[in-house]
Chain A
Amino acid sequence: MTMAGHDRSSLRKVRLYGVLIALLGVMMLPFYAMFSSTFKPESEIFSAPATLFPSDPTFQAYVDVWSQTDVLLWIGNSFVISLGTVVLTLLLAIPAAYSCARNDFVGKRTFLLSVLVVQMFAPVVLIVGLFDVITQFGLFNTYLAVIIPAAAFTLPFNVWMLYGYFKTIPVALEESARIDGASQLQILTKIVLPLTKPALVASITYTFLYAWNRLLFVLTFLTDSGKYNIPRGVFSMVGALQTDWRMMLTVSVIGIIPLLILFAFLEEYIVAGMTAGAVKE
């Protein structure tokens, strides 16, 4: 490579990273505003115009948040709701997806397409009818009132994700196990599911995130503040006249830490899930 060519390629690299870092900077700005605000003392956070850097950083907000808010309770509720949704969704999705992948039966196409339509039917346009159903079944103010609708709207993604994956597992594997005398359930739990691990991790991550993040169902079906999840808890801190921004932003930071950990470890699976959900190969 000539000197000029070398220069040009390194110039291109500088430009590429420059643009990337600038874009990342723009995307990270809201996080910066959130994090930096939580290290300001109360007097500084309510000073105008805002200081862009905390002049006297303190952890006081993180100390205060334990005693002044229900952040731990909200995180606990978020876990209950998310795990409940994951379990219910998988219990329904695994058999259905497996059945569709292994059998050819009348109504299969209809079933799979209807499931896809459900994914298009956003909960908000259904909320009035859903409200009626939840109250009729006496589920109002129970965790199930949130878990059931969340499971319904994550089920489509799970069915399609697992269906696509099950199809790639050779039937021969199952047949040889059957000859060895394994039962249907053993075949599923000992052979098929372990092989499905990547798809399962993507499914679980997607479902967990969906349930963790949703405000609508909790806002509508839970009035008992003891059952609030993190988004609902944060929302409850928005005051009509006055908002304790310092506490609210600190709770927000704490509320997203579990997700940041999840992202650091499961990035690949999240990406796989996002792409599989939208675009087929």
Chain B
Amino acid sequence: MSLAEEYTEASEESRLERGLAYLQRNSRAYLLIAPAAVFLLAVVGYPIVETFRLSLYRSPADSTIETFVGLQHYAEIFDSDIFYRLLWQTGRWVVAGVVGKTILGLLIAIHLKGDIRGRKFFRTAFLIPWGIPYAISAVVFRWIEHPQFGYLNAILLKLGLIEQGIGILGNPSLAWLGVVVADIWIGTPFMAIIFLAGLQSIPQELYEAAAIDGAEKWHQFRYITLPQLKSVILIATLLSTIWTFVSFDVIWTMTGGGPISSTATLVIHIYQVGLQNGNLGRGAAYSVIGFLFLLVFAVIYLRIYTRGGDEL
């Protein structure tokens, strides 16, 4: 054995020893995170792997025999008109929902910001729509939009805007709007609370100085509030985009994706194909496509979240 070889071996051994000593020193630290880590690996990590695997197989609904088909599901999906329709419907759903929640949330937050009487009451009241089951909110909106007995039609009739009741959720070109309204209602409180927290961290002196300079309300909003709130708005809209993208309960309870699939989004389609029709392979392939979308958002979010760098 040459001297060099002997040297490497010795250093390797000591590296192993050092590693073991390190583990021993930190054994308690590792032991304490182990249950959570193992749990997440089993309940989230493994299903991810399983989803990828399933997406390469065809499993007919009526049998348990799986046949390996490679990337065939993906090829068929990208070749189908359904996929592009789903993309358009998902995009429409996300953009309309997030824009609506952001504007309404900002409006509420701005009016809650000052030193107002009954702030706790208002804050609690505005928060409630976020905290109740989405399925219940969805049912209530379904009731409001009911073609015969709904409150919306009653109000529109009273105002003379329509002559007879319209069935929003039964109309393939209107249904998505009927569902988006419910989603905006549910998602607005989160935006309002986050914006309120952001608004309260803006130094009051900025507004005082602006007021002395005679700046109008709109200018104060445009040149102080919006720029100061930029990063909060970025984070909140990003999170809202992710949540709206994956939102399931509202659409499922209100329309089940119908009529004629006009309210289906990518995740609704995953559920319909994978679980309702039992086509696990095709559903899994759609899931993987969904992952990829989420991954893009998640990476952006992580970038922003860890921007400070060393606080972990």
Which residue numbers of A lie inside 8 Å of B, CB to CB?
A: 16-17, 19-20, 23-24, 27-31, 33-34, 37, 45-52, 91-93, 95-96, 98-100, 102-103, 105-109, 111-118, 120-133, 148-149, 151-152, 155, 159, 209, 212-216, 219-220, 230-232, 234-235, 238, 245, 248-249, 252, 255-256, 259-260, 262-264, 267, 270-271, 274-275, 278-280
Inter-chain contacts of A20 with B (CB < 8 A): 111-112, 116, 122
26 contacting pairs across A/B (C-beta < 8 A): A20-B116, A23-B107, A24-B122, A99-B28, A105-B30, A108-B33, A111-B37, A114-B40, A121-B298, A122-B242, A124-B270, A126-B51, A132-B280, A133-B42, A155-B39, A155-B40, A212-B133, A213-B132, A230-B136, A234-B139, A238-B253, A263-B131, A267-B127, A275-B197, A278-B239, A280-B308
Closest to A218 in B: B135
* Interface class of chain A by DSSP: helix
Which 6 A-B residue pairs are closest in the complex by CB-CB distance?
A: A129-B47, A122-B246, A99-B32, A129-B51, A231-B135, A103-B29
Given contacts A47-B149, A49-B153, contact A96 B26 (CB under 8 A): no
Q: B291 contacts A125, CB within 8 Å?
A: yes
Inter-chain contacts of A19 with B (CB < 8 A): 111
Tell me whether B174 is interfacial, beta carbon within 8 Å.
Answer: no
A110 to B136, CA, bound (A): 38
A37 to B242, CA, bound (A): 34
Q: A128 contacts B51, CB within 8 Å?
A: yes
Inter-chain contacts of A219 with B (CB < 8 A): 252
Tell me whether B170 is interfacial, beta carbon within 8 Å.
Answer: no
Q: A271 contacts B127, CB within 8 Å?
A: yes
Within 8 A of A (CB), among B103-135: 107-108, 111-112, 114, 116, 120, 122-135
Given contacts A20-B111, A33-B143, A122-B294, contact A270 B127 (CB under 8 A): yes
Starting from the known contacts A129-B287, A271-B123, 19 additional A-B residue pairs (CB-CB under 8 Å) come to: A16-B114, A24-B122, A27-B108, A50-B154, A96-B36, A102-B29, A116-B302, A117-B302, A122-B246, A124-B270, A128-B270, A128-B280, A152-B43, A155-B36, A215-B252, A231-B134, A231-B136, A234-B139, A275-B197
Q: A120 contacts B136, CB within 8 Å?
A: no
Q: B136 contacts A256, CB within 8 Å?
A: yes
**Total contacts A to B, CB within 8 angstroms?**
293
Range class of the B interface residue count: 35 or more
Q: A120 contacts B301, CB within 8 Å?
A: yes
Tell me whether B248 is interfacial, beta carbon within 8 Å.
Answer: yes
Tell me whether B284 is interfacial, beta carbon within 8 Å.
Answer: yes
Tell me whether B16 is interfacial, beta carbon within 8 Å.
Answer: no
Least CB distance from A180 to B in Å reads: 20
Selecting from B5-13, B186-194, B219-227, the interface stretch reads B186-194
A238 to B280, CA, bound (A): 26
Inter-chain contacts of A259 with B (CB < 8 A): 128, 131-132
Q: A92 contacts B129, CB within 8 Å?
A: no
Q: A249 contacts B143, CB within 8 Å?
A: yes
Q: B43 contacts A50, CB within 8 Å?
A: no
Tell me whether B185 is interfacial, beta carbon within 8 Å.
Answer: yes
A215 to B284, CA, bound (A): 21
Least CB distance from B241 to A in Å reads: 11
Inter-chain contacts of B274 with A (CB < 8 A): 127-128, 131
A51 to B64, CA, bound (A): 53
Of the listed residues A51, A105, A125, the one surrounded by the most CB atoms of chain B closer than 10 A to its CB is A125
A117 to B151, CA, bound (A): 42
Inter-chain contacts of B100 with A (CB < 8 A): none
Q: B267 contacts A124, CB within 8 Å?
A: yes
Inter-chain contacts of B28 with A (CB < 8 A): 99, 103
Inter-chain contacts of A34 with B (CB < 8 A): 140, 143
Within 8 A of A (CB), among B218-275: 232, 235-236, 239, 242-243, 245-246, 248-249, 252-253, 267, 270-271, 274-275
A120 to B243, CA, bound (A): 9
Inter-chain contacts of B108 with A (CB < 8 A): 23, 27
> Which of A29, A127, A213 has a CB less than 8 Å from the CB of B134?
A213
Q: A30 contacts B185, CB within 8 Å?
A: yes
Inter-chain contacts of A234 with B (CB < 8 A): 133, 135-136, 139
